[in-house]
Structure 1
Amino acid sequence: MNLENKLIVITGVSSGIGLATAQVLLEKGAFVVGWGRRPGPIKHPNFSFAEVDVRKQAAVERAYQETVERAGRPVSVLVNNAGLGKQGLFEEQSVEDWHLMFDTNVHGLFYCTRVVLPEMKKQEEGHIINIVSLAGLNGVEKASGYCATKFAVRGMSQSLYKEVREFGVKVSCIYPGSVNTNFFSDFQNSTAPENMMQPEDIASTILHVLQSPPNYHHIDIEVRPLRPKGKPQASK
């Protein structure tokens, strides 16, 4: 896809992967609208922000209408990046945290994707990119709730792409390992920050996926740090 003048929506744009992705896509001439609770630091003539809690269907629908009316064009790309995780043993996971993760990671993604799809199908062009996690491929102890949400996104995405591919709409999932964002601040025993990937690394993958030829479809992309434990110490 030629990204110049395309309207792109990114959720969770205030920091981390969302922020880095917005900056890369703005450099390519796209119009980027961030959906989220905090606007973040971006100052660019082609960037705007819509305050929205993706957990609320009505709020997402309002943000969509405001976005397309203001831009005067349909949404060509949606990057579902907003997400959160709460660590805890299964029997100790609070019901509130369980619902918070599902409301954000699954229901929010559903609401956002649902509003952009009809126009993408009509235009016969569109791309949904879901930022998942390796936790959507493998269970992780003390993260059953988070893994459950990411497994749900994986199943939803693989079903959806088979529904919309004949309309020229792509659905891609990216499964990062540890990325140096504030996501891991509440997780114990995570990879040391200096050994993690950077948000800009994931943004470069998103750019590569979006710029692929029209008949070339990335379904699932798994990315990891090459040396998650750092460079081995030389033996004495």
Structure 2
Amino acid sequence: MNQNYPTAIITGASKGIGRALALLLAGHNFQLSLIARNQGELKDLAAEITEIGHRPLYFAGDIADEAFIKMAIEKTAHTFQKIDFLINNAGVGAFGPTESYTSEKWDQVFDTNVKGTFLCTQHVLPHMKEAKKGHLITIASDVAKRVFDGGSLYCASKYAQHAFTEAVRKEVRKDGIKVSTVYSGLVDSHFHADPQGDPSHADWLSPENMADSIYYIMNQPAHVVIDELMIHPLSQEY
């Protein structure tokens, strides 16, 4: 633990955008706390980051499980003595006609995309308020501001995530806490039906493109906050 190094919690850290961001931040001397469901993938990522120079914490579990999230955040705060950044990146999707969704699928998507963002934010805020600084960054989607055929469930969850983040921004600005939301278009990641690296994704954003953009938001002077960033591949209309 080194008080001179910034500390960041990343959810959904084991794949895609979260993984790319973790590796980028590790190269910039961040102390990292990594949260995802897959224990094996987290362990492999932690080993890769340790080789870069800093041993991260990692926690395998469900971000909609309040006891798990509280434990992970408290252990992070105890180990590093501060939490400078929370990146709410974990997300799941479900697509198709509205009548095709089960109530269980509805709950699963809202639990991860909305409840998980709420729980992580809620349990990090006391540490940031005590420090009178901190930065909450939520990786949303451009469908938090538009809708598409077959996306009623996913769009609803992202609209809710957007509204929650917008309200928190107004709530904590007076406490010196920054809140940023990233609205991304098509990203070549595991999130889609085709695998990451599929030729059909050639013109899409890469996880590394997203990581660079998030790091740009994180790396602003103390008096500057980027409230929102809308980002797309040039090949995608918006």
Quote the residue 2:182 is aligned against. 174
Is 1:48 aligned to residue 57 of structure 2?
Answer: yes
How far did 1:48 drift?
2.2
- Give the partner amino acid of 2:186: S
Is 1:111 aligned to residue 119 of structure 2?
Answer: yes
Q: Secondary structure at the match of 1:195?
A: coil
How far did 1:228 drift?
3.6
Summarize deviations over 1:133-160 as a string: whole Å, max 9, x none: 0111101111111100110111111111
Q: Which of 56, 64, 72 lines up with 1:63 in the alignment?
A: 72
**2-structure distance, mates of 1:37, 1:100:** 14
8 Å Cα contact 1:15/1:40 also seen in 2: no
How far did 1:90 drift?
1.2
- Give the partner amino acid of 1:62: M
How far did 1:40 drift?
5.4
Among all aligned residue pairs of Structure 1 and Structure 2, give the percentage whose two residues are the same amino acid.
Answer: 31
Summarize deviations over 1:165-206 as a string: whole Å, max 9, x none: 11110110001100000101279xx99211210000010111
How far did 1:52 drift?
2.4
**2-structure distance, mates of 1:220, 1:157:** 10
- Give the partner amino acid of 1:25: L
**2-structure distance, mates of 1:13, 1:41:** 11
- Give the partner amino acid of 2:69: V
Length-normalised TM-score, structure 1: 0.90
Quote the residue 1:192 is aligned against. 200
Q: Which deviates more, 202-211 or 34-43?
A: 34-43
How far did 1:125 drift?
1.0
8 Å Cα contact 1:4/1:29 also seen in 2: no
8 Å Cα contact 2:186/2:232 also seen in 1: yes
8 Å Cα contact 2:185/2:236 also seen in 1: no
Is 1:92 aligned to residue 111 of structure 2?
Answer: no
Supply the RMSD in Å over aligned alpha carbons. Answer: 1.9
Summarize deviations over 1:183-235 as a string: whole Å, max 9, x none: 01279xx9921121000001011111011111111111100001249xxxxxx
Q: How does 1:1-236 map to 2 (within 5 A)?
A: 5-38=5-38, 39=42, 41-42=44-45, 43=47, 44=50, 45-71=54-80, 73-185=81-193, 192-228=200-236
Q: Secondary structure at the match of 2:44?
A: coil
Length-normalised TM-score, structure 2: 0.89
